[in-house]
Amino acid sequence: MIEPIHRMAALGDATRREIFGILAAEGPSSVGDLARRLPVTRPAVSQHLRVLKDMGLVTHQTAGTRHIYRLDPQGIAALRDYLDSLWERALNDFKAAAERSYLREKEKPR
Amino acid sequence: MTVMNQPETAQTATEMSVKKSVMVEAPQAHAFAVFTERQGGWWPLASHHIGKVQAETAVLEPRAGGRWYERGVDGSECEWGRVLVWEPPHRVVLGWELAADWRHDPSLQTEVEVRFVAVGPQTTRVELEHRHLERYGDKAEQMKAGLGSEGGWTGILQIYAAAAATPA
């Protein structure tokens, strides 16, 4: 199992974050397309993609001779799961508290 | 608008965030007050606190620059972050300064923006965005070597999974 801390470490590199960002914003992309967008060589892009792939952040498939990369939804989900659950729970509790206290104040005018 | 302690970061293509919204049957000002000044009354402290002892309350000081912290049953205080933007009753932006190993770390700040939209006289849509989560990546690069599997997110996730599996 890949630990979330290592996934986040993979995004500590600015170029990898940029690659990740392009894939997030624009969907699947080939190595060549990414290399044209970035001020780094094609082998460097491949290297960064390999790190992202090893960390479960992107997945890869071949279409003919082209290597297409896309975000791995499972990997990203793992990163955000904790905070997502926390806020879900917190907002539900907040809603209940706000509605309960408002009803109380309405029924008991000052 | 007052924005404090906003670190200048290079433009990052990745904006990793969590977005949530909830409809509250209460006026905007009431919803804002409960979320901020009365946070201790609803925050799920039993499962979400960072101190060693059980938390008694969560406190958000109602002003830009105000502290955001929990107070334990023994009176000890653990910082969560800061109030960055204070615009009652519309909007509040909080600096969340909890590191990946769940310690307070003011050098690692992610942002929680909460907007209160009045959709009716007694109905408020509360929109929450916890953003710049990609900043954990910058920090993780530095911390990777020193963090065991129990200390980082894995540990937190395990604790959380255990808590979530316990019926309320």
Q: What does the pLDDT read at residue B51?
A: 75
Q: In angstroms, what separates the C-alpha of B64 from chain A's closest C-alpha? A: 22
B91, β-bridge pairs: B87, B115
Tell me the whole-structure pTM to 2 decimals: 0.63
A93 touches chain B (CB under 8 A): yes
The whole-angstrom separation of Cα A92 and Cα A75 is 26
* B16/A contact by beta carbon, under 8 A: yes
R_g of chain B computed on alpha carbons? 17
Regions of chain B with pLDDT less than 70: 1-15, 99-103, 134, 136-168
Asked if A89 reaches chain B (Cβ–Cβ under 8 Å), the answer is yes
Measured between beta carbons, the chain B residues lying within 8 angstroms of A97 are 34, 38, 41-42
Q: Does B157 touch chain A (CB under 8 A)?
A: yes
Note which residues in 46-65 of chain B have CB less than 8 A from chain A. Answer: 47-48
**What pLDDT does A73 receive?**
62
Q: How high is the pLDDT of residue A6?
A: 65
Contact A99 B100 (CB under 8 A): no
CB-CB contact of B137 with B35 (8 Å): no
pLDDT of A40 reads 94
Domain B18-165 -> CATH class: alpha beta
Interface test with chain A among B15, B24, B131, B156, by most A beta carbons within 10 Å:
B24
Backbone angles phi, psi at B156, to 5 degrees: -65, -45
Tell me the nearest-neighbour CA distance from B57 into chain A, angstroms: 14
Query: What residue ranges define each of the domains in chain A, with the CATH number in brackets?
Result: 4-75 (1.10.10.10)
Nearest to A87 among B31, B41, B128 (CB): B128
Is the ipTM higher than 0.85? The answer is no
Residues from chain B contacting residue A85 (CB–CB below 8 Å): 160, 164
Question: Are B44 and A90 an interchain contact pair (Cβ–Cβ within 8 Å)?
Answer: yes
Phi-psi region of A53 (alpha: psi -120 to 50; beta: other; left: phi over 0): alpha
Q: How high is the pLDDT of residue A31?
A: 94
Q: Looking at residue B121, what is its pLDDT?
A: 96
What are B49-97's pLDDT values in tens digits?
777 788 899 999 999 999 999 999 999 999 999 999 999 999 999 999 8
Encoded tokens for B54:
């059980």
* pLDDT tens digits, one per residue of A47-92: 999 998 888 788 898 888 888 998 776 655 555 666 777 788 899 9
